[in-house]
Amino acid sequence: MNRRIAARGIAIDNQGQIFCVRLKAYDNNKERHFWCLPGGSVDRHETLCDAVTREIIEETGVLPTLGALLYVHQFVAGRAEHLEFMFHITNFSDYQDIDISKASHADKEIADFGFVDPKKKVILPRFLSTEDITHRIINQEPTKIFSFLLRTA
């Protein structure tokens, strides 16, 4: 089984809405009808922080200010195990009025973007709809791990 490592950013506004993207169909992927965090694959020999910064700039044209590592998400999809690292993006207000023409990959990859209420829209991973992210940030809670792998003896 292959393993895909990704880094993502969580920008959350004062109303508890999360900045998300909805992806287009590209490179053998179907168009997505759900929202997800901006970010993507970590390149070989690239740090997690460099990867999330690069991916978010490619998708939005905005330089993220990285805060704490909030979540690690481990799951299987298709024939791959996925390991995703989710960082707090502290400059959320910079994402409220994006000039998408500054994003190098937006035309190809991004169908829509914006702040989304996790109680009203489907955001993946689903635990983002039930987690109190603001509380976790304010209280500087340790990184939380969500592992959805089937354990074998």
Return the sign of the alpha-carbon dihedral for residues 97, 99, 105, 110: positive
What whole-number distance in Å separates Cα of residue 99 and Cα of residue 116?
Answer: 18
Mean pLDDT for 13-32 is 81
Give residue 112's region: left, alpha or beta (phi > 0; psi -120 to 50): beta
Question: How many domains does the chain fold into?
Answer: 1
> Identity (one letter) of the amino acid at 105?
H
On whether residue 90 sits in a domain, the answer given is yes
Structure confidence at residue 152 (pLDDT)? 53
On whether residue 122 sits in a domain, the answer given is yes
Average pLDDT over the chain reads 91
Kindly report the pTM of this predicted structure: 0.90
On whether residue 153 sits in a domain, the answer given is no
Residue 20's domain spans which residues?
A: 2-148
On whether residue 138 sits in a domain, the answer given is yes
Structure confidence at residue 153 (pLDDT)? 46
| CA geometry: angle 124, 127, 131, nearest 5 deg | 130
On whether residue 69 sits in a domain, the answer given is yes
DSSP assignment letter at 12: B
Report which of 80, 77, 78 is spatially closest to residue 126, judged by C-alpha positions.
77
User: Which CATH number belongs to the domain containing residue 23 in this structure?
Assistant: 3.90.79.10
DSSP assignment letter at 50: H
